[in-house]
Structure 1
Amino acid sequence: MKYKKLMSVVALSAVATIGLAACGNKEKGGNSKETATEDISKFPIKATNKDKAIKGGTLEVAAVMETQFPGIFSEIFYEDNNDNVMMEPSHESLFMSDDNFEINDKGVAKQELDVDAKKATITLTKEAKWSDGKPVVAEDIMEPYRIVGHKDYTGIRYGENFRNIVGMEDYHTGKAENISGIKKIDDKTVEISYVEMNPGMTQSGEEIWRSAVPAHVFKDIPVKDMVSSDAVRKTPVTFGPYKINKVVRGESVEYVPNEYYYGEKPKLDKIVTKVTPSKSIVEGLKSQNYDMVIKMPTDSYPNYKDVKGYEILGRQELSYSYLGFKMGKIAGDSTIEYNKDAKMANKSLRQAMAYAVDNKVVADKFYNGLRTDGSTLIPPVFAKFHAKDVKGYKQDMDKANKLLDEAGYKKKDGEDFRRDPKGEKLEIKFASMSGGDTAQPLAEYYMNQWKEIGLDVKLTTGRLLDQNAFYDKLQNDDPEIDVYQAAWGTGSNPSPTGLYGPKAAFNYTRFTSEENTKLLKNIDSNKSFDADYRLKAFKEWQEYAKEEAFAIPTLYRNEVRPISERVTGFDWAYDAPTNPWAEIGVTAESRK
């Protein structure tokens, strides 16, 4: 795909073409001329500067965000991915993984699974210490389970993975003071007993919790007060290569070396990460204001691809964009309540909306190939499990119109828009987020395409929503949302149960069915420890999800990270052998 010219925009109506061109004519968004599409596999994955790092120095990092970060520096409490970005230099997982995201023995801890006995054993293998000098011990591995499982826990992590631990439900409801299925073997070893074993436990995800919590810090803080405590908001104790030294709320974080880090001594004196809006990030790069940019927008790639003083790292992203259709609500016990009479519960309506758009043209025109059109809800970064032969929805306006006609969505004489099968007026509310130069024209493109097949689609509240308002409405099942455009960060476990399962808080479509639940259970069952069975289970679910169209993958995402030419030692590969923040340094006093 590299350097192939985008010769023409085909299969788009005139009005849609105008919508796409609107992006290209903006100074910092899209590209108004024919542009080569890029191949992410050709980008470097680590700093090519091999010079020796100088002693000390300050690394200045820009994190592209349209809103302030909430400032919850804890893996068990954070909900906004912006906080996760701010934890990169300071927080480290217990486990490391290979290029298939399967846990290996190179991290602070290793794990061993006994499938027949339904047990996992976690053993600390390195003499890691917290940033206050205390050793990381077995109690610290157990502490996240005690907090997340507690009845006063206020976060979102208490889901199927935690309920699957023997004794967790009794602990959660207050019937037991401890979790019977979690046992300390010695100061370095913890044994966890499960109700069912899951092949996702081999992955570096959340089936087996990946982080530790300093028990000596949190043991005296009531669980209900933890999320607002200094231990989470201001002075978190961590065992990564750097520790948080100063927080300017919502704006920046300053890190200094963790003098007790178990690995190679951090090279820098300081790291400062500042929130930077997308509208100013390109000019900031051109002025060489930063050593690194996290979450660099790909829609403005032509404007910075050759920027002086930088190289651009690239990799497939553990995420995808999608269109979701609201079809129910979530109950107080986290059970999805699907409503078969919901506005968007008609499969033909959902499929027609999918056939109306051309996501390949969107990917090439808006993102220069740094995003690609989606086909299934398992992105290709999971090469083993992505079903290549399951074809996604390609634009077919005739098929879209036929589906609507046959399902009874018809116009009355003299009307511009279709009515629902009962003959009532149909207005569909579409929620999409603001941010970046492409947000508005992309939302307009989708709405224009749906108008072309006779659907009256309007923006929720009449405008794009900022990220906080968008997710507040989505999570609370606001009736103002019928269809929405969003993105998922999948994590490193390819199982889709946490996003589309019958008890998944993140199942924002609120779709569930017996067949969907059965197919998801097959993916996560004991039988799926057999590689061939698991591959078959993944394929069957992807085929079903495509047919039901409760969520339509629109774009697979690739991510880029500009780094200054003075940066050395940074390895962005998912299977990097060490924490990249432990190795990073600079080879000159200044970027200029």
Structure 2
Amino acid sequence: MAKKQLMLLVGLMLALSVFLAACSGKENAGDEKTEPVKEEEKKPAEEETKEDPVDPNAAPVFPLDVSNTGTPIEDGELTYGLVADAPFEGTLSYAFYSGAPDAEVLDFFDESLLGADGDYLITNDGAATYELSEDNKTITLKIGDNVNWHDGEPVKSTDLLYTYELLGHPEYVGDRYDFMIENVEGMPAYNKGETKEISGIKIISDKEMSFTFTEASPSIMSGFVSNATPRHHVGDVMTGEVTLEDIMASDKIRVNPIGFGPYKVAKIVPGESVLYERNEDYWQGKPGLKTVVLKVVSSATVLEALKKGEIDYASVPVDQYLVAKDIENTELLAKVDLAYTYIGFNLGTWDADKKENIMDPSKKMSNKLVRQAMWHAMDNDTIGKELYHGLRFPATTLIIPVFAGFHDASNPGRGYDPEKAKALLDEAGYVDTNGDGFRENDKGEEFVLTFASMSGGETAEPIAQFYMQNWADVGIKVELLDGRLHDFNAFYDMLKASDPRIDIYQGAWGTGSDPDPSGLYGRTASFNYPHYVSDKNDELLAAGTSEKAFDAAYRKDIYNQWQALMVEDVPVAPTVYRYKLAAANKRVVNLSIDPGSDNYSRWKWAVTE
């Protein structure tokens, strides 16, 4: 069986390579960063290399820091490649953005008020400091006196309040009203329009404020939102000056956004490029570069752009690793990413009025035995080894290995086992009644699933076809939605709209820094695209962020139970965990992808001659 699967992949890749050669002048349509991978070429001394705390056999060992230790140019320029096969959306506000490309654009000119350490826990090393009360329910922030917006206005406590007023607003339609927002005392009443104020947020002075939470939760330390919004710049929803819709469409966040980060936005070519200029008044000091040029490069052309020196830094698609590692003027960095890829099953809909997910037992994927079988049918090991050179490896649970204290390494998930898949389908009553090689459902009706997947990169089409063949091998007929892959923006627009044509889909999640999964799988989570809900899920997610969860052993047990529940119910089937690869030109200095490094912050990045 393994040989058969490998031959299928080889055949698909060969066919695709011929197609790409014939279309060498064109970029592929759409994708997010689903395959960014890079490593360092040659750094043999292990004592010089910091490793991510994961299975060292999963992939080659890569450094986290560039090796160049030269003297930076005083007024250098760095060109940053944003690898995407579609334009970035351009919603450049932490309150409203939804996709990873926009986050990359934001990271150069704006940032959180609180710093974070290598374990993604908040620190007092940022633009603001904090104190947590003894009962763990109130956090008090003080913003530094030298922290100013790019237009010279000071960053005020009311600007951070404004973020919460936006995220909790009754008319907010974004994706970031999650547990850490709702847990603020008085937020539910504000969100329902019952009050104009959030009782748990107190403004002490222009630079000091406090947040009181309904529940003490360890997520305060890893998921507290401290991204301020410049009220004076974007306009004030609270006074009726603008509406939320006005802000989302406004040039104030799409053409001339401001932040208080190391670089100012000087010019935006929508969807294509951004020119940043040094923020001479940056609160940490003088940034290492005079200018940064961010430009979109396709996954098909990123290696050539790196090779020619047209860009100095970019993520690299993992499937291009063998070519990337031999580019002489760059070095490769990598770590296990805060992300995973998965197959999602459409189990219901999003109720926009109630703002919660509703399961629908009439959906084709409502039988969990069928979902379990489809996970067992997927040969993720072959995908990781043959298409990604070991830089992706089979996923087992929905809490990633980066969160070593909470990932249940003892839970095997549902490994590749086609015979087990067939047995589960038999148990569910899904059998081939007409001899065509495909199973009918338990009512004897035709069972054909519609599969939505994203385009982008050389592996997107082969992987989709590979999984469809995996499912066909156990008797499940699967067809691509519209007979093709869809670009990143169109794909997620369909998921957000609960497109009823989609039975299953392939997506990818960046998890963020908080191990709490409620923002993706909670009853009221708008990112819960499978629309999975259960009382047990509610109970475990609540327990994982409760005051008792300050006890790490208790929280680990809760999350082990939650991971087991997801392996049993399979609202989504995780496919692979992934290494995040990045290539840096050898003239780049002071750059690290290690969140615990002083050089992780982009204000330190610089270049030599």
Closer/same/farther in 2, CA of residues 499 and 519 from structure 1, 3 Å limit = same
Task: Write the mapping of 1:50-199 to structure 2, written as runs, cut at 5 A.
Answer: 50-114=69-133, 116=135, 118-125=137-144, 127-199=146-218
The runs of 5 or more residues in structure 1 that have no matched partner are 1-10, 31-36
Of 95-104 and 574-583, more deviation after overlay is shown by 574-583
Structure 1 counterpart SS, 2:257: coil
Tell me which residue corresponds to 2:336: 316
1:108·1:126 contact (CA, 8 Å) conserved in 2?
Answer: no
Read off the aligned partner of 2:209 and give its amino acid letter. V
Structure 2 counterpart SS, 1:299: helix
Deviations 1:53-83 (A, max 9, x none): 0111221111110110111111001112111
Distance in 1 (alpha carbons) for counterparts of 2:243 and 2:135: 34
Check if 1:22 corresponds to 2:38.
Answer: no
Distance in 2 (alpha carbons) for counterparts of 1:95 and 1:24: 49
Tell me which residue corresponds to 1:538: 559
Structure 2 counterpart SS, 1:365: helix
Tell me which residue corresponds to 1:379: 400
Check if 1:565 corresponds to 2:586.
Answer: yes
Cα deviation for residue 269 of structure 1 reads 2.1
Q: 2:500 aligns with which of 479, 482, 485?
A: 479
1:58·1:270 contact (CA, 8 Å) conserved in 2?
Answer: yes
Of 146-155 and 186-195, more deviation after overlay is shown by 146-155
Tell me which residue corresponds to 2:227: 211
Tell me which residue corresponds to 1:368: 389
Cα deviation for residue 578 of structure 1 reads 5.8
Cα deviation for residue 175 of structure 1 reads 3.1
Deviations 1:104-150 (A, max 9, x none): 21111233333637322222246222111222222222121122222
Cα deviation for residue 572 of structure 1 reads 1.7
Closer/same/farther in 2, CA of residues 153 and 520 from structure 1, 3 Å limit = closer
Tell me which residue corresponds to 1:409: 430
Tell me which residue corresponds to 2:39: none
Tell me which residue corresponds to 1:392: 413
Deviations 1:258-297 (A, max 9, x none): 121011301322111111111111222222221111x321
Distance in 1 (alpha carbons) for counterparts of 2:546 and 2:389: 40
Distance in 2 (alpha carbons) for counterparts of 1:586 and 1:15: 45
Structure 2 counterpart SS, 1:278: coil
Distance in 2 (alpha carbons) for counterparts of 1:16 and 1:364: 10
Tell me which residue corresponds to 2:372: 351
Deviations 1:419-456 (A, max 9, x none): 10011110111111111100111111000011111111
Distance in 2 (alpha carbons) for counterparts of 1:250 and 1:339: 37
1:160·1:503 contact (CA, 8 Å) conserved in 2?
Answer: no
Of 50-59 and 211-220, more deviation after overlay is shown by 211-220
2:593·2:600 contact (CA, 8 Å) conserved in 1?
Answer: no
Structure 1 counterpart SS, 2:2: coil
Q: How many residues align?
A: 568
1:328·1:509 contact (CA, 8 Å) conserved in 2?
Answer: yes
Of 501-510 and 95-104, more deviation after overlay is shown by 95-104
Task: Write the mapping of 1:509-548 to structure 2, written as runs, cut at 5 A.
Answer: 509-548=530-569
Deviations 1:20-41 (A, max 9, x none): 44226765899xxxxxx98667
Of 503-512 and 152-161, more deviation after overlay is shown by 152-161
Read off the aligned partner of 2:350 and give its amino acid letter. I
Of 539-548 and 133-142, more deviation after overlay is shown by 133-142
1:38·1:370 contact (CA, 8 Å) conserved in 2?
Answer: no
Structure 2 counterpart SS, 1:120: strand
Distance in 2 (alpha carbons) for counterparts of 1:283 and 1:546: 41
Deviations 1:170-190 (A, max 9, x none): 333433232221101223221
Structure 2 counterpart SS, 1:272: strand
Read off the aligned partner of 2:338 and give its amino acid letter. L
Check if 1:503 corresponds to 2:503.
Answer: no
Read off the aligned partner of 1:542 and give its amino acid letter. Q
TM norm structure 2: 0.89
Read off the aligned partner of 2:510 and give its amino acid letter. G
Of 468-477 and 435-444, more deviation after overlay is shown by 468-477
Of 349-358 and 140-149, more deviation after overlay is shown by 140-149
Check if 1:490 corresponds to 2:511.
Answer: yes
Give the RMSD, CA atoms, in angstroms. 2.0
Q: 2:349 aligns with which of 329, 342, 360?
A: 329
Distance in 2 (alpha carbons) for counterparts of 1:98 and 1:421: 52
Distance in 1 (alpha carbons) for counterparts of 2:195 and 2:185: 12
Closer/same/farther in 2, CA of residues 135 and 572 from structure 1, 3 Å limit = same
Read off the aligned partner of 1:298 and give its amino acid letter. V
Structure 2 counterpart SS, 1:493: coil
Deviations 1:156-206 (A, max 9, x none): 323333222222233334332322211012232211122222211111x3x
Read off the aligned partner of 1:311 and give its amino acid letter. E
Structure 2 counterpart SS, 1:123: strand
TM norm structure 1: 0.92
Distance in 1 (alpha carbons) for counterparts of 2:268 and 2:235: 24
2:88·2:272 contact (CA, 8 Å) conserved in 1?
Answer: yes
Tell me which residue corresponds to 1:457: 478
Task: Write the mapping of 1:418-429 to structure 2, written as runs, cut at 5 A.
Answer: 418-429=439-450
1:199·1:526 contact (CA, 8 Å) conserved in 2?
Answer: yes
Closer/same/farther in 2, CA of residues 117 and 298 from structure 1, 3 Å limit = closer
Structure 1 counterpart SS, 2:202: strand
2:329·2:585 contact (CA, 8 Å) conserved in 1?
Answer: yes
Read off the aligned partner of 1:325 and give its amino acid letter. F
Tell me which residue corresponds to 1:49: 68
Q: 1:240 aligns with which of 249, 256, 261?
A: 261
Closer/same/farther in 2, CA of residues 20 and 526 from structure 1, 3 Å limit = farther
2:235·2:247 contact (CA, 8 Å) conserved in 1?
Answer: no
Read off the aligned partner of 2:227 and give its amino acid letter. S
Structure 1 counterpart SS, 2:301: helix
Tell me which residue corresponds to 2:25: none
2:346·2:530 contact (CA, 8 Å) conserved in 1?
Answer: yes
